[in-house]
Amino acid sequence: MLTLNRRQTLAAGAGAFLATLIAKGRFASAAASDTLTIAYNVNLPSFDPTTGPSAVNPTIQAIYRSVFDQFVGQKPDLSFEPGLLTAWGWNDDKTKVWMDVRTGVTWHDGSPFTPEDVVWSLERAADPKTGNPIQFVWSTIENFKIEGNRITADVKSFDPTLFKWMAFLTGYVLPKAYYEKVGAEGFEKKPIGTGPFMVDAYEGNAFLRLKANPNYWGGKPAFETVVFKFVPDGTSRVAEIESGSSDVTLEIPYEEYDRLRQKSGLAGVCKPISDIGMIFITNVDATMLDKNVRLAACHAVDKSAIVKRLLRGYGVPIDTLQAPEYEAYDPSIKVPYDPALAKKLLAASGYSVEKPVKFKIQTTRGFKPKDYEMIQAIVGMWRKVGIEAEIEVYEIAKHYELRAAHKLAPMAFYNWGDAIGDPATSTGFATFGPSPHSAWKSKDLDAMIGPLWGEKDEAKRIAGWKAVDKYIAEEGYVLPLLQYMQPIVFKADLKVIPNTSGALQPTLVSKA
């Protein structure tokens, strides 16, 4: 087994050290039939999939799902399936929940997986001291009881999305005995799960190497070894796949996707996913308290032109935080491109092309295809109506840090993933004031959203969320842009099943 330490990497430089390893054959060749090498677009900041800002980064879930299993599984079409729970539900009056736990499962260290692990994981997630970003969901059930392989619990406050979250962000089961033995620090050094792959070697900002779990309850994976190369730069990911250094990559510029998939020996797939591109509007700046400014910014953006010209048609323009596949999508809500209206709104507040309103907008660069270029285009559109915006580029980790502290710029681009397609996990968490993931925080919106969290009548709940989306559009509290399509390029001798969640899981890749 290869052992890497930070001193070695710092001495050689992460990139040079990685190249040395490949040259010496310490990584299996990307062409080796039992090894899958993925040029991945983000680094892995933490191995714990349940705590800290990284736990709610949808892009990292492909890695987490490789090592850990979730309470509830999810298929590539977003439908739910048994995971470590084989069945689940509420009693008739929704005062209790029940869960049946899968038998015959072992942790990576060979110890048995038990219902106690499930209860411990849920109680830990519900404890605000552990730092779970979705603690307020997990804390809605309490007083767990185990009888054989069935777990029951009392409903402290009804949350209709509880079991959906068990297949979503932070919904992972961790090993009670092992974690309590090694602690948080020990777990980061040597994480174990029940998932299809086991951690073999890791070097921050460079790579993660996984080995197949021979005892995986879901069947042995197609590859013995999986290497995630952390390649945040899109151009470098193109080079990785074109040179043959990696077998598959994702989130590359769409023009490169079109070019590469035509090359001999390569193939590609690009399907709509549950991610949406949007711009947070933050009410910590007096500029954004002006409704005319907010609405002008929204009406001045030609989303169809952005999709057609900048993204080569790979995208679906949207006017709410619901993608067409989401449960509360309402196509009747429209915020049309209308630069004349934008100018009129700005004029009412004393602004014009000659006397523009000024503010800052933040964005990532290369995290999503054409993210920076898209913001550049939008800033150009704004300039024509009387908005002058300064662009600040930052890493996605910085976005999470600023958002949690409610210190984002007046506007900030973000890629919002909602792999369970529920309005509570899109509109809800993005706009509800008490949510740590929201940027706009106001009492009028909170009064509309608050009662929906525990609404037991599903039809009434969905109708309520549609009303919220309509109100947000009318007030300009957020600027939705488009539903993404995810470009994936891979060697032609592979078969890749696209995942609507956007998670490029190694288990969805096999030999053609």
What's the token pair of residue 392?
């600040």
Residue 148 has, within 13 A of its CA and on its CB side, a CA count of 3
Beta bridge partners of 107: none
Locus of tokens 């040395």: 20
Beta strand pairing call for 225-230 and 35-40: parallel
Please name the residue that has the structure tokens 């298929």.
Answer: 75
Contact status, residue 40 vs residue 64, Cβ threshold 8 Å: no
Structural domains in the chain?
A: 6-230 (3.40.190.10), 274-485 (3.10.105.10)
CA 396 to the chain's CA centroid: 11
Nearest to 248 by CA among 485, 487, 499: 487
* Position 101, amino acid: V
> What integer pLDDT is reported at residue 16 of this predicted model?
41
pLDDT of residue 96: 97
Task: Report the first-to-last Cα separation within the chain, whole angstroms.
Answer: 29
Which pLDDT score, from 0 to 100, does residue 8 have? Answer: 36
Residue 375 confidence (pLDDT): 98
Handedness of CA 177, 182, 185, 190 (dihedral sign): negative
- Indicate the residue type of 445: L
502 and 486 Cβ atoms separated by less than 8 Å: yes
SS3 sequence, 448-475?
Answer: HHHHHHHCCCHHHHHHHHHHHHHHHHHH
Amino acid, res. 171: G
Task: For CA atoms 461, 463, 464, 466, give the dihedral sign.
Answer: positive
Q: At what angle do helices 291-299 and 458-475 cross, to 10 degrees?
A: 100
- Cα dihedral across residues 412, 132, 472, 327: positive or negative: positive
Return the H-helix or E-strand segment holding 248.
strand 248-250
CA 103/CA 117 separation, integer angstroms = 12
Q: 327, exposed or middle or buried, with CB in 10 Å at 0-12, 13-18, 19+?
A: middle
d(C-alpha 295, C-alpha 297), whole Å = 5
Q: Which residues contact 398 (CB under 8 A, 6 or more apart)?
A: none
The count of other CB atoms within 10 Å of the CB of residue 333 is 18
CA–CA dist 236, 226 (Å, integer): 19
Whole-number pLDDT of residue 32: 54
pLDDT for 5? 38
Q: Quick one: pLDDT at residue 6?
A: 36
Q: Rounded to the nearest 5 degrees, what angle is found at the Cα of 423, between the Cα atoms of 324 and 330?
A: 40
Please check whether residue 306 is in contact with residue 378, taking contact to mean a CB–CB distance below 8 angstroms: yes
For residue 23, give the H/E element and its range. helix 14-23
Query: Of 255, 192, 164, nearest to 66 (Cα)?
Result: 192
> Can you list the alpha helix ranges (DSSP code H) found in 173-315?
176-189, 234-243, 254-260, 291-299, 303-305
d(CA 54, CA 156): 28
Q: Which whole-number Å values give the CA distances from 355 to 300, 337, 351, in the listed order?
A: 17, 22, 5
DSSP 343-400: HHHHHHTT--SSS-EEEEEEE-SSSSTTHHHHHHHHHHHHHTTTEEEEEEE--HHHHH
Half-sphere exposure of residue 101: CA atoms within 13 angstroms, side-chain side:
21
- Which one, of 162, 184, 164, 163, lies nearest residue 174 by Cα? 184
Q: Give the closest residue to 177 by CA, choosing from 117, 110, 124, 238.
A: 117
| Per-residue model confidence as pLDDT tens for the chain (512 residues) | 333 333 333 333 444 444 444 433 444 444 457 999 999 999 999 999 999 888 888 889 999 999 999 999 999 999 999 999 999 999 999 999 999 999 999 999 999 999 999 999 999 999 999 999 999 899 999 999 999 999 999 999 999 999 999 999 999 999 999 999 999 999 999 999 999 999 999 998 999 999 999 999 999 899 999 999 999 998 999 999 999 999 999 999 899 999 999 999 999 999 999 999 999 999 988 999 999 999 999 999 999 999 999 999 999 999 999 998 888 999 999 999 999 999 999 999 999 999 999 999 999 998 888 899 999 999 999 999 999 999 999 998 899 899 999 999 999 999 998 999 999 999 999 999 999 889 999 999 999 999 999 898 999 999 999 999 999 999 999 999 999 999 999 999 999 999 999 999 999 999 98
CA distances from 298 to 113, 291, 381 (A): 51, 11, 11
Task: Compute the residue count for the chain.
Answer: 512
